[in-house]
Each structure stands twice: as C-alpha cells, then as structure tokens.
Amino acid sequence: MDGLTKKAYELRRDIIEEVYRSGAGHVGGDLSVIDILTVLYYEVMNVSPENWRDGNRDRFLLSKGHCVDALYMVLGDRGFFDKQEAIETFSAFGSRFIGHPNTAVPGIEMNSGSLGHGLALGVGMALAARMDQKSYRTYVVLGDGEMAEGSNYEAMMAAAHYRLDNLCAVVDLNRLQISGPTGQVMDSSDLGEKFKSFGWNVIPVADGNHCGQLTEAFREAAAFRGRPSVLLACTVKGKGVSFMEDQKGWHHGVMSREQYETAVRELEVALA
C-alpha cells in the first residue's frame, strides 16, 4: 500500500467513527469519494491551513455536499481544525460540523448541500482567477445522481464558452443515488459524451478509488490547455466496507454496533 492509499484507508476509519457516533451522515458516498478527496488534498491542490486566506490558494467545492462527513475528516487531518472535535460533534446540537459544507468551518469555501450549485460556483471562481491574473485552479466534485440537475448543463456550457482550463470537475461515478441505480432513476451513463459535446476535455478514470490513477488524471487535466477538464471517476459506493459496497441502502444508512465493528475490522485488515 502506497502512502496515499494508506492515508485514504485511515480516513475511511475516521469516517466510520464519525458517522457511527453521530448516527448521521452519508457513508456510502463518503467512501466512494474519499480517494478523490485524499488525492486532491495531499497531492494535487495547493491549499493548506497556512495559505487558506491567501488569494492564490486552489479552490475546492464539494458540490455533492451531503458527503461533507468525508471532507471534514480530510480537512481535520490536514490540520484545518481538530479532527477529533469533528468526529465527536458531527451533527450534534450547536456543532459547526453540520451535515453539509458551511463556511463556519475552516477550509470550506462556500456553503453547499443543495445539489447542482457547485459547478456554476466553480465557473465564477475560475473566471475571477482569469480577471485577477491568478494562477490558482478550481476543483469541483459532483455526484452522478446530481448530474440530473439542469443547472450543471448551464455551467458546463459557460465553462466551455469561456475556455476555463483552470477549472477541473470530477464526477464521482458510483452509479447509485438514493432511489437506486442512477441508470434506472435518471440515466446519465453517457456523461462522457455529454461533457464532450459541451466542449470539455473528458478524462475517464477506470478505477476512481485508485489513488495512482486519480493522481495521473489530475496531472493530465492540469496540463490541458484551452478547455475545462472533467474526470469521470468510476467508483464504488461504500468502497472498503464489504457489506456497504454497491448497496443503495448505504446512501445514508446507520450502522448497528455489530456493523460498526465489522467495518472497523475490515479497514484494519486492509491497513495491516
């Protein structure tokens, strides 16, 4: 196991702890997106607690905001705040660690949670970078169910129109949403064709839970000039915990004590 992969598995363990304690959260989507977040925050993006107020920092938006549980663990681990506080107070009364990204938490750029806002926010941030001749890049992570929101297509069109090569979207293609398989709820299986026809540079990532493949894809996106890039990351919802993998019920399922113990054990084995 390389360093990034190990980190992603450690963060999975933190997520399980956080979600189990609170009886809240969106564990399935957390586990599918955690590798993407790990690679972004530990390998790709220029953002840290030190440069967090600096206008040149890279920008990140979790458009699928319901998976903030995963983002909290990454930000806490990177030192934006005390990770343990997030684990212990996630979703509790009065806690700033509520169930969607909010700017009361250091490291969170914008409030989100209503799906279909992140990509357009990213277009604005990428346009501002150009206006101010800044070299920061903007990253937006979307869900595949979320891609049914029409606002995404307005943002896609604008990003291509303005040739925003400083904008990089990632779709967490786990093929599931609340009601079931995305292909049955609202089919977005040809997302690659859609992005391409809107003028985007499309980078498929065969295993979106593979840190090496993700790192490579982000490099390719950063080097691409003249058009925005999108990573279509084929992931597994619930990745890393066998009984959660590819099960729609774990979108926001709550673990029993036994399930929690099994999940922790499986992750420990993977880490050993």
Partner 1 sequence: MNTERITNRQVICDTLLKAAQKDRDIVVVCSDSRGSASLGPFAERYPEQFVEMGIAEQNLVTVSAGLASCGKKVFAASPASFLAARSYEQAKVDVAYSEVNVTLIGISGGVSYGALGMTHHSCQDIAAMAALPGMRVYFPSDRFQTAKLIDALLGDEKPAYVRVSRSATEDVYDEKTDFVLNRAGVLRKGRDAVIVACGEMVPYAAEAARLLEEQGIDAGVVDMYCLKPLDQETLLWHARNVRLLVTVEEHSVFGGLGSLVSQVICRENPMKVLQLALPDEHLVGGTNREIFHHYGLDGEGIARAVKAALI
Ligand X SMILES: Cc1ncc(C[n+]2csc(CCOP(=O)(O)OP(=O)(O)O)c2C)c(N)n1
Scanning the chain, the segments in alpha helix (DSSP H) are 3-22, 27-39, 68-77, 83-89, 118-131, 151-161, 182-185, 191-197, 211-223, 257-271
By the rule CB under 8 A, 157 interacts with partner 1: no
Is 112 among the residues that bind ligand X (CB under 6 A)?
A: no
Q: Which SS3 state, helix, strand or coil, does residue 27 take?
A: helix
* Residue 254 found at the interface with partner 1 (CB under 8 A): no
Please choose, out of 15-23, 83-91, 130-138, 172-180, the segment that lies near ligand X by the rule CB under 6 A.
172-180
Count CB atoms within 10 A of the CB of residue 130.
13
Task: Choose from Mg ion, ligand X, partner 1, none: what does 64 bind? Cβ within 5-8 Å by kind.
Answer: ligand X
Contacts of 225 (CB under 8 A, 6+ apart): 165
Which token pair is 132?
């101010």
- The piece of 4-12, 37-45, 99-107, 259-267 that touches partner 1 (CB under 8 A) is 99-107
Q: Which of 177, 215, 229, 235 binds partner 1 (CB under 8 A)?
A: 177
Residue of 113, 120, 175, 123 whose CA lies nearest to 145: 175
CA 158 to chain CA centroid, Å, is: 22
Burial per residue of 190-228, b for 16 or more beta-carbon CB atoms within 10 angstroms, e otherwise: ebbebbeebebbbbebeebbbbebbbebbeebeeeeebb
Residue 145 binds ligand X (CB under 6 A): yes
Note whether 177 binds ligand X by CB under 6 A: yes
Among 174, 188, 209, 213, binds Mg ion (CB under 5 A): 174
C-beta separation of 112 from 152 below 8 A: no
The window from 106-114, 174-182, 194-202, 261-269 that contacts Mg ion (CB under 5 A) reads: 174-182
Touching ligand X, residues 23-62 (CB under 6 A): 26, 29, 32
Number of residues in the chain: 272
C-beta of 30 vs 165, nearer to ligand X: 30
Q: What is the CA radius of gyration of the chain?
A: 17
User: Binding-site residue total for ligand X (CB under 6 A)?
Assistant: 21
Selected from 18, 146, 165, 172, the binder of partner 1 by CB under 8 A is: 146
239 contact, one of partner 1, ligand X, Mg ion, none, CB 5-8 Å limit per kind = none
Report the nearest approach of Mg ion to the CB of residue 177 (Å): 5
Q: Which residues lie near ligand X (CB under 6 A)?
A: 26, 29, 32, 64, 66, 113-116, 143-146, 172, 174, 176-178, 182, 237, 251
Q: Which residues lie near partner 1 (CB under 8 A)?
A: 24, 65-66, 91-96, 98-100, 102, 111-116, 145-146, 148-150, 177-179, 182, 185-186
